[in-house]
C-alpha cells in the first residue's frame, strides 16, 4: 500500500513546507500547498479523504475516490445543523462517502437522547427524522453505526471492508459515551477490516489533550493489538489538539508500539509486502492548542488524504 496524507484543505498563507515520510506500505505527506495539492497518482490508486469533527462547518476538500468522516458532524446534533453537513457532503464529488456519528451528534444516540435531551436542547429533536436525514441511501452517503460495509472504489478494483463505531470513553456525559466498565462490550464487536472508523482514538495514539494526558481507550488498543490482521487504516477524531497521522507497528508478541516517521525517513518502497502496521489518522478538522498554529498563524480547517495502490493485494 502507498499512502498520501495532507494536512491543509483550503487556501491559506501559512508558512509551511512540504513534508512526507515513507513506511513499508505507505508514503505519507504531512503537509502540502492547499492551492496545489499533489495530483491523483493514477487509476491504479484509490485516494481516501479523511475528515472528522467538522461541527457543521464547510470548507474546501481535496477531490478523491473515497471520503471518510469520523464523527461530530454537527455542533449539537440539531436537524438544521446536520442538514448543513449532509448537504455539504452530498455536494462533494467523491464517489464513495462513508460517515459515522460522534458525541456531538446527540439525537443519533436515540435511547440516550430520549432521557438526556433537555441538558442540551430546549426543544426535543425528533430522532427518527434526524436518522432518516443522515442514514438515507438517496444521499449517496453510507452511515455506519456499529456496522460493517464493503465497497469498490472503481469498477474491477479491490474490495475494501470498513467498520464504523461512534463510541468513545466517558466524556462529560455526551452521546455515545461509555464507562470503563462498559468499554470491553463496546469494542468487542469490532471485526478485522481494512478500514476502521471510530470517533475516539485508541489509548496513547494521537490522543494527548492540552494537560498532556492520554485520553484514548485502552480497551480499543488492546482489542486491535489482539487481532491477527489489524486494520490497514484507522481513522478517528474527537481529540482536536492531537490532529495528525502516525504509523503504529504491532510486534509479534501483540504488544503495540508507535512509530512516528519523520519527513526524510525512507524505510522501504511503497507497495512492498504488508507488515503489521496501521496508518493511524486523527482527522479532527478543527485543531486547537499548539497544533492550531504554525509560526504564530492559526491554521484553517484541515483535511487528510491517503492514497492506496489499488492493484497491490494488501
Q: What is the DSSP string of 20-83?
A: EEE-SS-EEEEE--TTSPPPP--TTEEEEEEEB--TT--------SEEEE-S--SSS--HHHHH
- In which band, very low, low, confident or very high, does the pLDDT at 160 lie, cut at 50, 70 and 90? very high
CA 81 to chain centre: 20
Which string of DSSP letters, residue by residue, matches 189-232? T----SEEEESSPBTTSS-B-TTS-B-SBHHHHHHHHT-SS--S
The answer to whether the Cα torsion of 15, 244, 32, 264 is positive or negative is positive
- In which band, very low, low, confident or very high, does the pLDDT at 3 lie, cut at 50, 70 and 90? very low
* Residue 36 pLDDT exceeds 80: no
Within-domain flag for 148: yes
- In which band, very low, low, confident or very high, does the pLDDT at 305 lie, cut at 50, 70 and 90? low
Residue closest to 128 by CA, chosen among 103, 98, 102, 107? 107
**DSSP structural state of residue 299:** P
Within-domain flag for 314: no
**DSSP structural state of residue 284:** B
Tell me the per-residue pLDDT of 222-275, one tens digit each, with 9 for 90 and over: 999 999 999 999 999 999 999 888 889 997 554 444 444 333 233 334 444 344
CATH of the domain at 234: 3.60.21.10
Residue closest to 237 by CA, chosen among 197, 203, 210, 277? 197
> In the prediction, which pLDDT does 4 show?
36
Counted domains in the chain: 1
Q: Between β-strands 27-31 and 19-22, what pairing exists: parallel, antiparallel or unpaired?
A: antiparallel
Long-range contacts of range 188-191, CB-CB < 8 Å, 24 or more positions apart?
A: 188/223, 189/146, 189/165, 190/163, 190/165, 190/220, 190/223, 190/224, 191/148, 191/163
> What is the rounded distance in angstroms from the CA atom of residue 198 to the CA atom of residue 72?
11
Within-domain flag for 6: no
Within-domain flag for 189: yes
Cell of 280: 493511524
Tell me the per-residue pLDDT of 100-134, one tens digit each, with 9 for 90 and over: 999 999 999 999 999 999 999 999 999 999 999 99
Cell of 189: 464487536
Q: Between β-strands 66-69 and 96-99, what pairing exists: parallel, antiparallel or unpaired?
A: parallel
**DSSP structural state of residue 272:** P
3-state secondary structure of 305: strand
Within-domain flag for 1: no
> In the prediction, which pLDDT does 18 show?
61
Q: Could you list the residue range(s) of the whole structural domain that residue 293 is in?
A: 19-309
Q: Quickly tell me which residue has 464504523 as its cell.
A: 164
Cell of 131: 436518522
Which of residues 256 and 83 earns the better pLDDT score? 83
- Taking a C-beta distance cutoff of 8 angstroms, is the pair 2, 24 a contact? no
Within-domain flag for 282: yes
Amino acid at each position: 500500500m502507498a499512502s498520501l496524507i495532507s494536512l491543509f484543505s483550503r487556501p491559506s498563507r501559512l508558512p509551511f513546507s512540504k513534508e512526507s515520510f515513507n513506511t513499508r506500505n505507505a508514503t505519507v505527506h504531512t503537509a502540502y500547498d492547499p492551492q496545489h495539492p499533489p495530483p491523483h497518482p493514477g487509476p491504479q490508486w484509490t485516494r481516501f479523504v479523511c475528515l472528522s469533527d467538522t461541527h457543521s462547518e464547510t470548507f474546501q476538500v481535496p477531490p478523491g475516490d473515497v471520503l471518510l468522516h469520523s464523527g461530530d458532524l454537527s455542533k449539537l446534533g440539531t436537524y438544521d445543523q446536520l442538514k448543513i453537513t449532509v448537504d455539504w457532503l452530498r455536494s462533494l464529488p467523491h464517489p464513495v462517502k462513508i460517515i459515522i456519528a460522534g458525541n456531538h451528534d446527540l439525537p443519533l444516540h436515540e435511547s440516550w437522547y430520549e432521557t438526556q435531551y433537555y441538558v442540551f436542547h430546549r426543544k426535543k429533536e425528533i430522532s427518527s427524522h434526524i436518522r432518516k436525514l443522515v442514514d438515507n441511501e438517496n444521499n449517496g452517503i453510507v452511515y455506519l453505526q456499529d456496522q460493517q460495509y464493503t465497497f469498490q472504489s472503481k469498477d474491477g478494483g479491490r474490495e475494501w471492508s470498513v467498520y464504523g463505531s461512534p463510541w468513545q470513553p466517558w466524556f462529560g456525559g455526551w452521546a455515545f459515551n461509555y464507562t470503563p466498565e462498559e468499554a470491553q462490550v463496546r469494542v468487542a464487536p469490532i471485526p478485522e477490516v481494512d478500514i476502521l472508523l471510530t470517533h475516539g482514538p485508541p489509548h496513547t495514539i494521537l490522543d494527548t489533550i492540552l494537560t498532556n494526558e492520554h485520553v484514548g481507550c485502552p480497551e480499543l488498543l488492546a482489542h486491535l493489538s489482539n487481532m491477527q490482521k489489524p486494520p490497514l487504516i484507522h481513522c478517528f477524531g474527537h481529540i482536536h489538539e492531537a490532529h495528525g497521522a502516525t504509523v503504529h507497528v504491532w510486534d509479534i508478541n501483540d504488544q503495540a508500539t508507535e512509530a512516528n516517521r519523520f519527513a526524510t525517513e525512507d524505510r522501504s518502497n511503497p507497495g512492498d509486502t504488508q507488515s503489521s502496521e496501521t496508518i493511524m489518522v486523527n482527522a479532527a478538522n478543527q485543531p486547537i492548542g499548539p497544533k492550531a498554529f504554525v509560526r504564530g498563524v492559526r491554521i484553517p480547517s484541515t483535511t487528510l488524504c491517503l492514497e492506496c495502490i489499488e492493484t497491490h493485494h494488501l
